[in-house]
């Protein structure tokens, strides 16, 4: 009985950590990505191409590569690691904060790209009208861009969240699989399989499968492929 409760508690811990990580990551991404996406959507230049490539890097790079470099970067003897230690009093590597930073970097293309594509479709004339009618740049973003790209913001948030829930390599490299601190679902699944506990593995794997499918179905319901994007004017 106690083992069942312990197992259940552990699973709950893993679930909480995972959801907390995905929520915080998504929230940070929703603040960080729009300015980057906006800048990328307004024209072409060398600097834009470089930033665009860096943002897209997590799409092609094995997550373990990213995790490896972050691990090195976050080590207590580096500038980042030391600064973090001085500021917070605890080491950065193998901490929840390190996971958040890693996840933000890992999931950023999934948030920036839908936003960038939506921003590119906003007609220049609409924004110029707003400016001429007295709207400041921030006002234009809030009163014109955000409502016109509402669906893309939801899509971006869902993709960012779901992708963070599903990450493995980065989390394994920089999180260290500490229960209640940095152990997330995808790693718990790996653990279960290694311990040959297939019942637990089935629960976690099935749960992730259903969750991912549900997110994708709701996204496609929200943005049917044949429907006109919401920003299309006359």
Interface positions with another protein (CB under 8 A): 123, 125-126, 128-136, 139, 143-144, 147-148, 230-234
**Least Cβ distance, residue 226 to another protein (angstroms):** 17
Q: For residues 64 and 230, which CB has a smaller minimum distance to another protein in the complex?
A: 230
Residues 6 or more apart whose Cβ sits within 8 Å of residue 190: 168, 172
Distances (CA, A) of 125 to 37, 45, 89, 122, 186: 19, 22, 51, 9, 46
Nearer to another protein, 19 or 131 (CB): 131
Q: Which is nearer to another protein, 154 or 215 (CB)?
A: 154
Residue among 222 and 232 whose Cβ is closer to another protein: 232
Closest approach of Cβ 142 to another protein, in Å? 12
Contact 138, 63 (CB under 8 A): no
User: CA–CA separation, 152 vs 112, rounded Å?
Assistant: 10
62/123 with CB nearer another protein = 123
Minimum CB distance to another protein smaller for 147 or for 179? 147
Q: Which residues contact 192 (CB under 8 A, 6 or more apart)?
A: 198, 200, 201, 204
Closest CB 232 distance from another protein, rounded Å: 7
* Distance, CA of 208 to CA of 214 (rounded, Å): 10
Q: How far is the CB of 20 from another protein (least distance, A)?
A: 34
Radius of gyration of the chain (CA): 20
Residues 28 and 104: beta-carbon distance below 8 Å: yes
Is 154 within 8 Å of 222 (Cβ atoms)? yes
Taking the complex as a whole, how short is the minimal distance between the CB of residue 148 and another protein, in angstroms?
Answer: 6
CB of 195 to another protein, least distance (A): 53
Q: Extract the runs of DSSP E, i.e. beta strands, from the chain.
A: none
């Amino acid at each position: 009985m106690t083992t069942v409760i312990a197992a259940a508690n552990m699973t709950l811990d893993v679930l909480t950590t995972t959801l907390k990580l995905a929520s915080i990551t998504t929230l940070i991404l929703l603040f960080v990505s729009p300015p980057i996406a906006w800048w990328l959507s307004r024209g072409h230049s060398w600097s834009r191409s470089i930033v665009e490539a860096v943002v897209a890097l997590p799409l092609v790079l094995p997550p373990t590569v990213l995790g490896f470099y972050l691990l090195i970067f976050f080590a207590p003897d580096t500038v980042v690691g030391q600064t973090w230690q001085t500021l917070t009093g605890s080491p950065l590597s193998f901490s929840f904060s390190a996971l958040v930073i890693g996840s933000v970097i890992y999931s950023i293309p999934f948030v920036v790209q839908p936003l960038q594509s939506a921003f590119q479709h906003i007609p220049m004339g609409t924004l110029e009208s707003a400016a001429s009618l007295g709207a400041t740049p921030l006002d234009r973003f809030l009163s014109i861009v955000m409502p016109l790209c509402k669906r893309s913001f939801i899509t971006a948030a869902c993709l960012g969240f779901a992708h963070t829930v599903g990450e493995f390599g980065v989390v394994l490299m920089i999180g260290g699989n500490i229960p209640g601190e940095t152990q997330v679902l995808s790693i718990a699944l790996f653990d279960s399989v290694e311990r040959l506990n297939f019942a637990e593995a089935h629960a976690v794997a099935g749960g992730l499968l259903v969750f991912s499918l549900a997110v994708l179905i709701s996204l496609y319901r929200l943005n049917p492929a044949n429907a006109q994007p919401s920003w299309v004017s006359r």
